[in-house]
A and B are shown apart, each in its own frame.
Chain A
Amino acid sequence: MTGEFAVWVYLSRTPLLWLTVTLMAYVVADRIATATNRHPLANPVLIAIAITACILKLTETPYATYFEGAQFVHFLLGPATVVLAIPLYEYRATVVRSLVPMLAALLVGSVVALASALILASALGIPRDVIVSIAPKSVTTGVAMGIAQTLGGDPTLAAVIVMLTGMTGGILVTPLMNVLRIRDMRARGFAAGLAAHGVGTARAFQVNEVAGAFAGIALGLNAFVTAILAPVAVTFLR
């Protein structure tokens, strides 16, 4: 074994290496996003994932090895969800004033998210067991995987679809809202959180704090509503 190779073998097995790689990929991605003035296409989640995935591929690192280091970052998703309470509390006056529009948007949004996925998928001839895995696509990963599993779908496929939906929503929300001339940051944020869960919420926080606060509320509420509506909606499938 040559010297350098021995170092690599040692490093590639410690959590330190993959934790550092994850953070570095994010720092680079965030720099790119800032340099483009947070252009929707320069989505830091997408760029950081692309960089990390390329490094894993080139070094032929198994995901399990990578995750031993990356789990420390992954773990922070939970605490980050908890602290969504901070902007929510800070803008509580705005939130309370927007209660009715929020609940209306929640109901319409959840139904459209479910119905459009089910109808489009049926129309395109996607088999039933795949459809139930894409039904909860707008909900946060953990909940979506649970829903897919209860409905007899594939949780892994659900997780992949959820992530793709998040990315799509995170990238498209700004241009779409501009085209639709919706300037209300509450509405923009709420839509981002409802349609694109945490990834949409991350985008909302980069644009505006009010948008972020509303995205966080939508993310939480939609998880709840979809968990109730999805089992009902799939009964309409033949």
Chain B
Amino acid sequence: MIVSLTLILAAQLLGEALTRALNLPVPGPVLGMALLLVFFIVRDRSLAVSRKILPPPLVDGRLEETGKTLLANLSLMFVPAGAGIVGRLDVLAVQGTALAIVVLLSTLMTLAATAFTFVAVSRWLKPGEGR
């Protein structure tokens, strides 16, 4: 687990450093995600070499297990920020109702438009798919 976490944190660190250095409009962790993806591609391209030089947890599936445990509990990680938001609901005081309407309707429209486009385009490309 420690080896896996080290790699994950290293990817994030490199992502943060690159976004800052190059002034990219993406968060560091998102770039870290792309870097980890590159790691997987390179690792599996030359699996025999990877098995020899990389620490075992990074090639035997334990890295994936650690990652999936984190993802299965993604909800937990929003609790601290969310609890802080509850204390700042006062910023909504003036336009509370109007803001609630905007959030509700706009979110529904975004969800529907995104999913519909996805399904429509995928059906158009391959009739029968995306049922």
Contact = CB atoms under 8 A, between A and B. Distances in A.
A132 interface: no
A79 B107 contact: no
A192 B108 CA distance: 10
A129 to B, nearest CB: 11
Interface residues of B, number: 76
Given A73-B76, A165-B103, A184 B111 contact: no
Given A63-B83, A84-B33, A112 B114 contact: yes
Contact of B107 (A76, A86, A90, A168): A168
Contact of A79 (B8, B81, B86): B8
Contacts of B12: 78-79, 81-82
10 contacts: A26-B75, A73-B76, A80-B71, A80-B77, A143-B26, A159-B81, A164-B103, A180-B112, A186-B130, A224-B30
Interface of A: 22-23, 25-26, 29-30, 43-45, 48-49, 52-53, 56, 63, 66-67, 70-71, 73-74, 76-90, 98, 100-102, 104-106, 108-109, 112-113, 116-117, 120-121, 124-126, 130, 134, 137-138, 140-143, 154, 156-157, 159-161, 163-166, 168-169, 172-173, 176-177, 180, 182-184, 186-188, 190-192, 194-196, 198-199, 201-202, 205-206, 212, 216, 218-220, 223-224, 227-228
Interface of B: 5, 8-9, 11-12, 15, 25-30, 32-37, 39-41, 63-64, 66-68, 70-89, 91-92, 95, 98-119, 121-122, 125, 130-131
